[in-house]
Amino acid sequence: MKLGVRHAASSLAPPSRRRRGFLPAAVVLAFLLPGCGGAAAPVGDAPGPVPGGADGARPGVASVLPDGVPALDAPGRHLLVVCVQDEAQVAIVDMDSYEVVHRIHLQELGYSERAQPHHAVVEPDGSHFYVTLIGENRVLKFDRKYQVVGEAPMQAAGMLALEKGGARLFVSRSMSAVNPPQRIGIVQRSTMEIEELDIFFAQPHAMVVDPEGRYAYTASLGVNQAASVDLDTERVTLVELEGPNHVIVQFAISPDGRWMAGSGEMSGELVVLDLAADRANPPVALRVPVGHMAFDPTFSPDGRQVWVPVKHTDEVVVLETEGWQEVRRIAGRGIDAPHQVVFSRDGALAFVSNNNKNPHAMHGPVEDDGGDGAVVVVDTASGEIVEVVRLGRNVTGIGTRPRMP
Amino acid sequence: MSGPGVASLVRALGVALLPVLLATACAGAGAPGVAGPSGAGMDGAGFERDVYALSVLDEHGEPYTHPFLGGLVVPRPQFVDLDGDGDPDLFLQERSGELMYFENTGTAEAPRFEWRTDRFGDLPVGEWFVFHDLTGDGRYELMSELPYSYIRVFRNEGTPEAPRFEPALDSIRDVDGRPIFSDRQNIPQLVDLDCSGTLDLLLGRIDGMITHYREEARVDGFPRFRKVTDRFENIEIIGQIGSMHGANAMAFIDWTGNGAQDLLWGDFFEPSVLLIANRQPCPGYDLDTPPEPLRTPEGNLLTSGHNVPVPVDLDGDGRTDLVVGVLGGAFNPVLTASNNLHHYRRGEDGLFRKMTERFLDGIDVGSESIVEVGDLTGNGLPDLVVGNKIDPVENRTARLYLFAGEATGPDGALAFRLADTLSLAPAFHYAPAMGDLFGSGRADLLLGTWNDGVRVYRNTGHAHSAAGPAAEPAAQLAADPAADPAAAFPGFEEVPGLTLDLTRGSHAVPALGDLTGNGLLDVVVGRSSGQLTLFRNVGTREEPAFERVTDEMGDINVGRRSAPYLADVTGDGLLDLLVGREEGGALLFRNVGTREAPEFEAVPEFEAVPGFELPLFDLGRPVPVDLTGDGRLEVVSGANTGGVLLFRDGGAGWSAGQGVGTGTGNKP
């Protein structure tokens, strides 16, 4: 079987090799770059409570950088961190105006054109954010002014999850190695020191932490198993996932902590686990067909819906959690190989990242396929596409400041 | 594969182990069970791997061809006649950055592959390798990954008979001098598609498409390429349920016999090997054809996915056979953890007959094997007990594989036979340690587990009357893994209330030995953190009781996944501590205390001792024992790759006469 050829023609920029032992140099370089003035937060600047209210504005901290770029924690601003994987860039998008307010060019920081930023999470107070570079085998820590202030090396780093109310960052594996370690990474966010925890199965990829901060969960790409990690004892419990080969890509947990939904790339099912029944070993409550190549699911802020990007059909499938019925499939302009969904704080808008390349290509570059990926803004009430923000080749992970638990 | 005579072996074992047994039997006498001259040298030539030291028979009574190879989990093979003798040699990558070499010492019609090295030329090959004559001088260059994702080239500066590969290019480049990237999890290929005398470079992508570069120039003899397309021949591999393709490997070969290069493809989401036929011979090519899975008489060739197809004519019949490295993809890699190097022979009907799933056959119990040695069958010969992480047949538990020691051949050479398997508890990651804990004179069992601590099992005695080795091989084991273990080995029953729990962490690996001089066996437990927990035996000879002393024994931390063993390897009468670990190799901690109050000081890693090496694979647990009866200690070890390795003493001076001192008290 063949698909039609999709023509596009951007070529790679001239390659530059990342400098070895580069971090100090990279950080220094970042300081020297135009528009990157100002002192960076110290590496050990630990995330803390949010003193500035709901928006997290911190008294005495400049919210606008010298070049006019809003800081990630600027009061009243809602910013989206976007991985543009095949461009080795991280874009910052204003979630109200849909403008790109800043771009981080990783090559300018000494990383290779194949750095492949893949997934991003943001501290609740906006003080820092973290990005996995699956082509560089590491996790980067940026401060509110988009400066690299730390990194943690980890082979085939994949997905990220913040410990709610805690100090740790959990990191899973990508597919960028033949046989990556069967462990997840546990990073102390303040120091970026990393330890690894044995998870027992191959290819632990999904990564999520429950709202209470009691358990982290991951799942294998190769076997029908998930695992819970007791965050107090770090005891790992295997969770059997019934059904066909799922290849769980990512989990999402409902805001009330009741449900955990996993997207089955191969099975095309959303696997729903009942955390209320057993947080350490949750049973599968039901399995809902959504379509092959189901990717990162997300619960709406009110917990009434789950949005599931489905790459195979270029749709976002919306399910009501009351009865787990499908209520809508969103398709159209810009939705091409949808990857992840982030909601605005009030839940009125959904921001959908799109690879805009052939399915599953987000783990590898495609130079002339599909053109620029996009973040597509969707009105959650009507399902209408509000805006398409083209950002570059292979838009993958997106993150914004999560609502405080 | 000959071994020593039983008489000499027993003599050797007796010298080495009798004191230990006596010490255990005389618990309370304070004898640690080790005596002998002190000062065993550690300045020798170290330990050397011996794949063929002893004969080992499988469950059917057939000898493994590579008994102590160490197992395979993700084998990536290639056949190349590197030495120019007219038959294909085998190169195989199992571990990142290392390349195994098997010389074909047979013929083109009857190959015989013999292991030569785990690290061919000590070449750092990253995640993949490909041999190809890039320069057209009749000698193979070696392409491999330069982390991350560059294509490095080594050139043979030696001869075919004595190859010596030296770095030649840091990266294959395009005509503009820019490096060409190849995703590290994929294996690229070179082929002359149009018979033009120039090379085509094909890079499989994770989306199921192929990027095509064509040679357009030569610089210093090496080709420079220009990218033609990212959608070579419009090929997009479509799986059973959609287009979802991950890490991949491919091969070009004239499979259909029309003189054109066809394409074989395997990837993470594909359980078979796909054939994309080339319909047009040179000077053209046309691979715009539907992928078809390769077929066997029983149906499609199927595995757990991510197959690496390697066409080769192994028997010189002019038909291309197929060797498939099964890396394991989306179809439960556990199922192929031990059977993952398949050999298919192509029949005249074009179908493939599976000849074996273990092309390099050796002890292989899946993954993360841990070995213990002791006489369980009571015949005076050592048996091998090998635990795994998870059973490839029954995925809900781990399993112990019991290899009975027996005398074979006219000279009574020691051999092992896979006689039974044992699943004691529904737990993962079995880590056995044996010793007489209940004063019966029999070897009881400690069983470390993944996250259920260390369980204690009492040896209930032989379940059958014969004191010798198992009368019949457990030929039914493969089909019936739940076969009664008592048929060949003694039964074990768990002792409630004696489980040793870890305070924190997982992957408990126990070791037994009397460390406190009271004649009772204490327990040292390795765990995921790399530290060691010490449990002191405060019970009696008949009723052990364990009391946790410390979770940070001696402040020892070997990195991750400590796997200890107690033995007097220095010959001073005190039990020293050998510790394997995740990153491979082992650390030796010499006991510089007393029998009653030992202290452990860190001795640098084996390689740090001049001339001394013990190159265990990752996650090995070293067990020093004289199996060959030559009076010197070998070291046997499991590995992350699921097999068993045996190392001979190349000059370390660990003689059996100085006492193995395992402390397990279970040897004859």
Of the residues A19, A20, A179, the best mutation for testing chain B's interface (the one with the most B CB atoms within 10 Å of its CB) is: A179
Q: Are A26 and A18 in contact (CB under 8 A)?
A: no
Is the minimum CB–CB distance between A281 and chain B shorter than 8 Å? no
**Residue partners of B380: CB distance under 8 A and separation at least 6:** B10, B13, B668
Residue B226 has pLDDT above 80, yes or no: yes
Per the model's pLDDT, the better-predicted residue between B419 and B11 turns out to be B419
Query: Mind telling me how many Å the CA of A394 is from chain B's nearest CA?
Result: 12
Query: Mind telling me how many Å the CA of B170 is from chain A's nearest CA?
Result: 12
- Please tell me whether residue A108 adopts helix, strand or coil conformation: helix
Per the model's pLDDT, the better-predicted residue between A47 and A342 turns out to be A342
Partner B, chain A 173-192, Cβ-Cβ below 8 Å: 175-179
Per-residue pLDDT reduced to its tens digit, B61-102:
999 999 999 999 999 999 999 888 889 999 999 999 999 999
A-chain residues near B327 (CB < 8 A): 178-179
pLDDT recorded at residue B524: 94
Interface contact flag, A222 B332, Cβ < 8 Å: yes
From the list B127, B207, B451, the residue facing A359 with the nearest CB is B207
Query: Mind telling me how many Å the CA of A178 is from chain B's nearest CA?
Result: 5
From the list A114, A137, A247, the residue facing B330 with the nearest CB is A247
Per the model's pLDDT, the better-predicted residue between B117 and A370 turns out to be B117
| pTM, entire model | 0.85
pLDDT band at B596 (very low <50, low <70, confident <90, very high): low
Strands (E) located in A231-371: 236-240, 248-253, 259-264, 269-274, 284-289, 298-299, 305-310, 315-320, 325-330, 338-343, 349-354
Interface contact flag, B332 A292, Cβ < 8 Å: no
Six-digit token string for A242? 């019934």
Residue A348 has pLDDT above 60, yes or no: yes
Separation between Cα atoms, residue B428 and residue B176, nearest integer Å:
53
pLDDT recorded at residue B438: 95
B-chain residues near A5 (CB < 8 A): 231, 234
Q: Are B598 and B590 in contact (CB under 8 A)?
A: no
Question: Out of A137-151, B11-25, B89-103, B531-545, which region has the weakest mean confidence (pLDDT)?
Answer: B11-25
Partner B, chain A 79-118, Cβ-Cβ below 8 Å: 112, 114
Residue type, B26: C
Interface contact flag, B183 A364, Cβ < 8 Å: yes
pLDDT recorded at residue B84: 84
Distances in Å between the Cα of A330 and the Cα atoms of A314, A334, A335, A376 are: 9, 11, 8, 11
- Say which residue the tokens 């001076």 belong to: B653
For A11, which residue in chain B has the nearest alpha carbon? Answer: B227
From the list A137, A196, A223, the residue facing B332 with the nearest CB is A223
Question: Out of A347-351, B230-234, B327-331, B585-589, which region has the weakest mean confidence (pLDDT)?
Answer: B230-234
Per-residue pLDDT reduced to its tens digit, B47-59:
899 999 999 999 9
Interface contact flag, A177 B291, Cβ < 8 Å: no
For B503, which residue in chain A has the nearest alpha carbon? Answer: A233
Separation between Cα atoms, residue A249 and residue B246, nearest integer Å:
13
Is the preceding omega at residue A301 within 30 degrees of 0, hence cis?
no
pLDDT recorded at residue B642: 98
B-chain residues near A175 (CB < 8 A): 185, 206, 246-247, 268
For chain A, the residue count is: 405
Q: What is the mean pLDDT of chain A?
A: 84
Q: What is the mean pLDDT of chain B?
A: 83
Q: Are B576 and B660 in contact (CB under 8 A)?
A: no
Partner B, chain A 375-404, Cβ-Cβ below 8 Å: none
Of the residues B125, B186, B231, the best mutation for testing chain A's interface (the one with the most A CB atoms within 10 Å of its CB) is: B231
**Residue partners of B354: CB distance under 8 A and separation at least 6:** B296, B342, B343, B344
Interface contact flag, A200 B209, Cβ < 8 Å: no
Question: Out of B180-194, B472-486, B535-549, which region has the weakest mean confidence (pLDDT)?
Answer: B472-486
The mean pLDDT of A225-242, rounded to a whole number, is 95
For B238, which residue in chain A has the nearest alpha carbon? Answer: A1
B86 burial (CB, 10 Å; 0-12 / 13-18 / 19+) is: exposed
Residue B12 has pLDDT above 60, yes or no: no
From the list A114, A361, A368, the residue facing B181 with the nearest CB is A114
Interface contact flag, A366 B149, Cβ < 8 Å: no
pLDDT band at A404 (very low <50, low <70, confident <90, very high): low
Interface contact flag, B244 A364, Cβ < 8 Å: no
Is the minimum CB–CB distance between A369 and chain B shorter than 8 Å? yes
From the list A222, A236, A245, the residue facing B328 with the nearest CB is A222
Is the minimum CB–CB distance between A233 and chain B shorter than 8 Å? yes
Interface contact flag, B206 A363, Cβ < 8 Å: yes
The mean pLDDT of B511-524, rounded to a whole number, is 91
A-chain residues near B181 (CB < 8 A): 15, 114, 365
Per the model's pLDDT, the better-predicted residue between B38 and B209 turns out to be B209
- Looking at mean pLDDT, say which of A27-31, A354-358, B354-358 comes out highest: B354-358
Is the minimum CB–CB distance between A357 and chain B shorter than 8 Å? yes
Residue B488 has pLDDT above 90, yes or no: no
Per the model's pLDDT, the better-predicted residue between B142 and B244 turns out to be B142
A68 burial (CB, 10 Å; 0-12 / 13-18 / 19+) is: exposed
% residues pLDDT > 90 (chain A)? 74
pLDDT recorded at residue A66: 80
Instruction: Give the DSSP H or E segment for A26.
Output: helix A23-32
Residue B652 has pLDDT above 60, yes or no: yes
Nearest to A89 by CA among A396, A303, A361, A377: A396
For B230, which residue in chain A has the nearest alpha carbon? Answer: A368
Question: Out of A111-115, B590-594, B641-645, B652-656, which region has the weakest mean confidence (pLDDT)?
Answer: B652-656
pLDDT recorded at residue B245: 53
Interface contact flag, B74 A2, Cβ < 8 Å: no
From the list B231, B333, B428, the residue facing A5 with the nearest CB is B231
B-chain residues near A223 (CB < 8 A): 332-334, 395
Interface contact flag, A364 B328, Cβ < 8 Å: no
pLDDT recorded at residue A4: 25
pLDDT recorded at residue B473: 30
For chain B, the maximum distance between any two Cα atoms, rounded to a whole number of angstroms, is 86
A-chain residues near B561 (CB < 8 A): 198
Question: Out of A376-385, B246-255, B326-335, which region has the weakest mean confidence (pLDDT)?
Answer: B246-255
Residue B387 has pLDDT above 50, yes or no: yes
Distances in Å between the Cα of A216 and the Cα atoms of A153, A232, A237, B427 are: 20, 11, 11, 22
Interface contact flag, A360 B205, Cβ < 8 Å: no
Interface contact flag, A223 B334, Cβ < 8 Å: yes
Bridging pattern class, strands A338-343 and B576-580: unpaired
**How far is CA B164 from its chain centroid?**
26
From the list A223, A360, A364, the residue facing B244 with the nearest CB is A360
**How far is CA A294 from its chain centroid?**
15
Question: Out of A241-245, B110-114, B551-555, which region has the weakest mean confidence (pLDDT)?
Answer: B551-555
Please count the residue pairs, one from chain A and one from chain B, whose beta carbons lie less than 8 angstroms apart.
Answer: 151
Separation between Cα atoms, residue B646 and residue B634, nearest integer Å:
7
Strands (E) located in A39-192: 79-84, 89-94, 100-105, 117-122, 128-133, 138-143, 148-153, 157-162, 168-173, 183-188
The mean pLDDT of A85-92, rounded to a whole number, is 96
Interface contact flag, A266 B241, Cβ < 8 Å: yes
Per-residue pLDDT reduced to its tens digit, A107-166:
999 999 889 999 999 999 999 999 999 999 999 999 999 999 999 999 999 999 999 889
Query: Mind telling me how many Å the CA of B561 is from chain A's nearest CA?
Result: 10
pLDDT recorded at residue A44: 32
The mean pLDDT of A246-256, rounded to a whole number, is 97
Is the minimum CB–CB distance between A358 and chain B shorter than 8 Å? yes
A-chain residues near B334 (CB < 8 A): 202, 223
Residue A11 has pLDDT above 70, yes or no: no
Question: Out of A175-189, A281-295, B34-48, which region has the weakest mean confidence (pLDDT)?
Answer: B34-48
Partner B, chain A 135-154, Cβ-Cβ below 8 Å: 135-137
**How far is CA B325 from its chain centroid?**
15
Per-residue pLDDT reduced to its tens digit, B195-225:
999 999 999 877 667 899 999 999 999 999 9
Instruction: Give the DSSP H or E segment for B563.
Output: strand B563-567
Residue A322 has pLDDT above 70, yes or no: yes
From the list A198, A361, A368, the residue facing B507 with the nearest CB is A198
Q: What's B290's DSSP letter?
A: -
From the list A1, A245, A358, the residue facing B207 with the nearest CB is A358
Interface contact flag, A364 B450, Cβ < 8 Å: no
Q: Are B362 and B643 in contact (CB under 8 A)?
A: yes
Distances in Å between the Cα of B573 and the Cα atoms of A387, B514, B522 are: 78, 12, 17
